[in-house]
Amino acid sequence: MSAPRRSNFLTDLIDADLAAGRVVKVVTRFPPEPNGYLHIGHAKSICLNFGLSRDYRGDCHLRLDDTNPVTEDVDYVDSIQHDVHWLGFEWSGPTRFASDYFETMYACAEQLIRDGKAYIDDQNVEEIRAGRGDFTRPGVASPRRDRPAAESMELFRQMRAGKFADGTLVLRARIDMAHPNVIMRDPLLYRIRHAHHHRTENQWCIYPMYDYAHPLEDAVEGITHSICTLEFESNRELYDWVLDNTLNPQTNAQWSPRPHQYEFARLALGFTLMSKRKLLQLVQEGLVSGWDDPRMPTIAGLRRRGVTPEALREFADLIGVAKNNSFVDVAKLEYCIRQDLEQRAPRALAVLKPLKVELTNWPADKVESLELPWWPGEPERGGTRNVPISRQLLIEQEDFAEVPPADWKRLAPGWTVRLYGAGLLRCDAVVRDSSGEIALLKCSYDATTAPAAGTIHWVSATHGVPSPVRLYDRLFRSEQPEAQGDFREQLNPDSLVLCPDAVLEPALLQAAPGSHFQFVRLGYFLADPVDSKPGAAAFHRTIGLRDTWAKAGRAAHDGRPQRDRQPAKVQAKPAAPKKSRAEWRAEARAAQPELALCYQRILDAGVDLESADLLTADLPTAHFFLLAAAHALPPSVARWLLNDLLGALGDKPITELPIDGTTFGRFVALVDAGSVTGAAAKTLLAHLCQHGGDPAQLLETLGLARVEDAGALQTAVGEVLASLPAETARYRAGETKLFGVLLGAAMKKLRGAADAAAVRQALIDKLG
């Protein structure tokens, strides 16, 4: 409707599902476990799932995945709902809970037992783990694997009835103990947990495992696209197994719509920790003040810090969604925060580390009131407040230098600067205290509007209100705090700096809790919603302004301290004895004499060594080739088979093709004979692979036969140039790379049926 929707691999998938009619309404879900606070990584997932359902006019459910009562808590349920709302999303229907479906899951488990697809095991944890094998060795079957279904059923019912202690029995799927995917080696479905559940209380003492519960939760809710993070890729196979081997107990039919799991890369962000466990550790060890400490990457922390939902949503939009293992630069987040606050925060004056200034030419008792706009430069937004100015002022210590460095645009002895919103200030003398520190600047004031080299902020010392201000910065000093060693050693000692002497302009005291201000030249500040009291706002800094001056200084001193990424691990590879595909093929030929025979025949037919090797990976392919080679030039057949047919095939075996080797051979013969061009032949081949048919006949019906008529060719080229005036003009203006576009368009127009060289020549002639 408005801005074009950002596309990613998931929208492509959904578009295809919708187009094919596999899905009529998109239903997604956000399924957090209520065992911790949501963080910015969850925000990415929330924006993805809710964003998809909004864009496709579908639904998005909020579902608490509460299948493990010992780690979960109702407090987390509340905070999660609050955070999702705060981010700006409404879920479809009520808040859902995995525990709502325990009865359904139980019924499905009985189905599996009845069908001999699940059994009760009585091995202990260690035995089960040992029996599972590892990446190198297959697992070994449990002695209880063939327990009769009736017996397992009886045991399972007794489990539910509470007859057994924790850890004594489990329900396992019976799949394959030698499965290459370790997850599929008879995974656990249910375990016994005599624990209090935050919703079902003591109703259950058996609880389903994630891999079993999640697909069923999705299926019960009619989720169409179940989106999770990359580390669940291996689990997808089990997800599918559960749905393929259970029926909906309500309908006794297969699950419909049948959900599918897709995985995307979770957020990794510089200078930030994303592990729930480590975040919990920070809270429990008192390294931060709580889940909502403004330095925490939790939604609660970001909110308290002064980051808005809009900024977070913009961030999610900016970083996109893909399957790459990505690591986002924290500067991107900071950019979003600043951009959002820039529009949102009225401007005010405050001094963090004051330096006294006396206006020697200002009468001692005189007080003026300056009416300054909240939105300088944007009069249409309106609104002003009065800022008092008197003989005694405060300026920022950092804005004065006795010996000004190059490019200094602030105050120095004898220099003049603009006081923001007021007149000019000239420094006449520096007064020191007994210890030699600068105590006071004697200055003269000039109410003129003449331009000055720089502008500094200030507050009247007699009217300004002392109010300590907290400055927050990145919690960690290294970009990847988890990279090596203890992350706690990477804490930034300056992540919280208190400015006890800060002084605010009087109007700021009335700020509503939760309101944002830009303190001119200092950054964006929030009236802390917790610590502020009526008429006594307490501020902290959300984020500083972009500071090219400070950055220049830093760069001059220590080069470019921007990145401290670990260099990519150079891995001492112990020469992997991994069997390559080439070796695998060689072994196949050694083991199968017939394949070796084919190999020799292919070689004898004049095909090069590499192709012959590739063609004899398996018998069906070799036979397919030999059949085809009887009807066309063997090297041509090899090339077309290897380069084009294999690509069209994907993972499917060659035997599933609707054409046989003979047909393929006759197809190649057409190309050999010059009856069809290479480009048109690809279209023809695609059609053959889809629907089968006779190559020569299809060539005619599809109108792909070689265009010999020079006139037709000229006409087509002329039409193409007329339809692409901009590109044509740019080419004529010298952008030769546009030739490919024009040629491509002409080829497309002729459906690839004309000789490329001829089209090229016709194009050159036409373009002059």
Partner RNA sequence: UCGGGGAUCGUCUAAUGGCAGGACCGCAGACUCUGAAUCUGCUCAUCUAGGUUCGAAUCCUAGUCCCCGAACCA
The residues that are catalytic are 33, 266, 276
- The residue among 286 and 574 lying less far from RNA, judged by its C-beta, is 574
- The residue among 227 and 293 lying less far from RNA, judged by its C-beta, is 227
Q: 253 pairs with which residues across the strands?
A: 248
Does 582 engage in binding with RNA (CB under 7 A)? yes
Does 357 engage in binding with RNA (CB under 7 A)? no
- The residue among 591 and 733 lying less far from RNA, judged by its C-beta, is 733
DSSP sequence for 441-483: EEEEEE------S-EE-EEETTT-EE--EEEE--SBSSS-TTS
Helical (H) or strand (E) element with 28: strand 27-30
* Least distance (Å) between residue 468 CB and RNA: 22
Of 43-51, 153-161, 381-389, 549-557, which part binds RNA (CB under 7 A)?
Answer: 549-557
Does 322 engage in binding with RNA (CB under 7 A)? yes
**Residue in 1, 253, 403, 576 binding RNA, rule: CB under 7 A:** 576
**What SS3 class is residue 350?**
strand
Number of residues lying near RNA (CB under 7 A): 134
Does 95 engage in binding with RNA (CB under 7 A)? no
Does 68 engage in binding with RNA (CB under 7 A)? yes
Angle, helix 102-114 to helix 210-221, in steps of 10 degrees:
110
Does 140 engage in binding with RNA (CB under 7 A)? no
- Which of 184, 177, 173 is closest to 111 using CA atoms? 173
Query: N- to C-terminal Cα distance for the chain?
Result: 43
Spatial distance between the Cα atoms of 320 and 206, rounded to a whole number of angstroms: 40
Residues 14-53 that bind RNA (CB under 7 A): 31, 33
Burial of residue 593, with CB atoms counted within 10 A of its CB: 0-12 exposed, 13-18 middle, 19 or more buried: exposed
Does 567 engage in binding with RNA (CB under 7 A)? no
Q: In what order do the strands lie in the sheet with 206-208?
A: 118-121, 170-173, 188-192, 206-208
Amino acid at position 500, single letter:
P
Where do we find the tokens 């792909």?
704
Does 609 engage in binding with RNA (CB under 7 A)? no
Does 633 engage in binding with RNA (CB under 7 A)? no
**Residue in 202, 203, 234, 600 binding RNA, rule: CB under 7 A:** 234
Of 150-158, 327-335, 461-469, 590-598, which part binds RNA (CB under 7 A)?
Answer: 327-335
Spatial distance between the Cα atoms of 569 and 96, rounded to a whole number of angstroms: 44
* Least distance (Å) between residue 737 CB and RNA: 5
CB atoms within 10 A of CB 16: 11
* Least distance (Å) between residue 307 CB and RNA: 16
Helical (H) or strand (E) element with 519: strand 516-519
Of 143-151, 304-312, 496-504, 727-735, which part binds RNA (CB under 7 A)?
Answer: 727-735
Residues 255-294 that bind RNA (CB under 7 A): 263, 265
**Which x/- pattern, by CB under 7 A, does the window 421-450 give for RNA?**
xxx-------------------------x-
Does 734 engage in binding with RNA (CB under 7 A)? no
Does 381 engage in binding with RNA (CB under 7 A)? no
- The residue among 719 and 735 lying less far from RNA, judged by its C-beta, is 735
Q: Are 49 and 62 in contact (CB under 8 A)?
A: no
Structure-token pair, residue 25: 């309404």
Does 302 engage in binding with RNA (CB under 7 A)? no
- The residue among 10 and 527 lying less far from RNA, judged by its C-beta, is 10
**Residue in 2, 94, 136, 434 binding RNA, rule: CB under 7 A:** 136
- The residue among 57 and 573 lying less far from RNA, judged by its C-beta, is 573
- The residue among 2 and 434 lying less far from RNA, judged by its C-beta, is 2
DSSP sequence for 195-219: --BTTTBTS-SEEE-HHHHHHHHHH
Residues 172-211 that bind RNA (CB under 7 A): 180-183, 188, 191-192, 207, 209-211
Q: Are 457 and 395 in contact (CB under 8 A)?
A: yes
Q: In three state form, how does the secondary structure of 688-723 look?
A: HHHHCCCHHHHHHHCCCCCCCCHHHHHHHHHHHHHH
* Least distance (Å) between residue 13 CB and RNA: 9
Does 100 engage in binding with RNA (CB under 7 A)? no
* Least distance (Å) between residue 449 CB and RNA: 5
Residues 637-676 that bind RNA (CB under 7 A): 639, 642-644, 646-647
Q: In three state form, how does the secondary structure of 525-588 look?
A: EEECCCCCECCECCEEEEECCCCHHHHHHHHHHHCCCCCCCCCCCCCCCCCCCCCCHHHHHHHH
* Least distance (Å) between residue 92 CB and RNA: 20
Residues 488-547 that bind RNA (CB under 7 A): 518, 520-521, 545-547
- The residue among 423 and 529 lying less far from RNA, judged by its C-beta, is 423
Phi, psi of 754 (to 5 degrees): -100, 155
**Residue in 610, 709, 719, 765 binding RNA, rule: CB under 7 A:** 610
**Residue in 166, 489, 594, 604 binding RNA, rule: CB under 7 A:** 166
Phi, psi of 94 (to 5 degrees): -75, 165
